Structure 1
Amino acid sequence: MEEKFQPIESLVNSETSLSQALLFMKEHRYWSETTFDSYKYDVKLFETFLTSQGLESTLENGQHLSLVNRWIVQQKENIVAYKTIMRRVAALSSLYAFYKELGIVQTNAFKASSVPGEHVGPHSRTLEMDDLKKVYSALEGLKKQGVYIGLPIKLLLFTGLRNQAITKLKVGNINWEEGLIIYNQKVRNSKNKMQVLPLPPLLMQELRKHVEEMKLNDDDPLSYGIKGYPLKNKQLNAVVNKVNEFLDWKGEEKRG
């Protein structure tokens, strides 16, 4: 029996969850699984924020400018890197642009929002999706050369934590059951707050394998550098530069 065609407009409405809406959108995009996973991760973060505000994570609830701005401010307060916030806003903007075009939502608050407080220079441009694919390819290429730096780079990409925070992460910061990194610097000032950061399942699997193979305990550092020593700020810069060198990213293209 021939399967009936159902237009997306009959499957999605303003009360559809953001994750479900993204899944339907995927059918109309030529995305790789890596690209889709990145979008799914960013959407899940915004859904978690909506839930924390006492709201259901629907298309309708997520299209309000005041909420979007509040989400951006919360990330700034949690010391999330500027480029990471920009990437997350761009991902949600793509979702809302798609459904605004179909008439399912009325506005795209993410397109109207801005991320303040960063001096944008030649090293501050946002990583686009094609750039992220290149970074992943570089990590695989470096791995074949015996350079194992995938974990710290992926933690930078997916958590948005700055260098200092990444170097302070310990195995005990991982919540294995919930798939989270819980970062709490335990310094009493307004800029240092506990952050709960969900990680993609594949990265969680990679972290578990890393911890088991290195026989790490909760008090051990989570990330290690090119020479196998626990990461410090300078070593992390060297790790990032290794990716830049592999991709021949220089000057304006260089991401740091």
Structure 2
Amino acid sequence: MSELSIVAYLTDIEHWLTLEGCNELEGEALEQFLCSVDTRRARKSLIKLMETPDATRSVKRRLSALRSLYGYLMKIEKVEHNPFKAVQVPKDGQYLPTFVNADLLTRHIERLYKEAEEEPTSEGKRVAWQRAFVVDLLFQTGMRRAELLGLHLEDIDTTKGELKVLGKRNKERIIPLGPLICQKIDLYLGYRSPKVETEVFLLNDEGKPAKADYVYKVVKEALAPLPQYSRKSPHILRHSFATAMLNNGADLMSVKELLGHDSISSTAVYTHTTFEELRKMYNAHPRSRESSKERRTNHEDEGTGSQL
């Protein structure tokens, strides 16, 4: 390896340590940190690297540097495995999808619900709450916009925690639902006016079947307070869902099935993943877990007293 390559690798490793808040560690403290990094943390590192301004040009090189670092640490028997070996390196020129950090998005969605409760009129509360719900549902399920618009009431079973989606090429799949989003769905359904005759699940602000431009507008306006993300389309929530799942330990093939993607390899053991295993994988999503506080205060905090 040339001297310039060594300098570049050291610079990339220092950049990574800075992102992890460990750039000032030395000696035993630095060694302990390096030994503590597992595959899950390595994936989180990838997320941080992808969020940097020059990510498209630098992420592959920096991951290569980190793989080399841990290859060396394995050679001198400081670590037993290379946590970055399982992290996929984007190909040259590969599009890196825009996504919102899961913790940031979770806090933002909770803020949207809170702001809805502060609306002065019942109609204002209903509209604002429903818009927050649309963002929440897309983030928690990873659905495409067209799939959300194609949902009918019969496709949703909150008792079982299941959502039936008709994807591209009429490919049907079942998405497991966590208890928190099931409660939100039940609230949403409870707000529907008995006068609404349509079986379409998603209605617009006027109580009519929603169209694509409604969902786009809702998401764009909801994400407007996040200026660091230039793109604010519904598909960003799908990317954010997938990123959150992988970043919290779900395996790639399970996430691809949840998203309704085709298998990336004929050797992938796609059919061996059961629905119950998918449900367990879904629990890796940060908003699929309902806190005890949310469970206790759900009916007090979320009622809007109005119907769609």
Q: Structure 1-normalised TM-score?
A: 0.47
- Determine which structure has more spread, i.e. the larger CA radius of gyration: 2
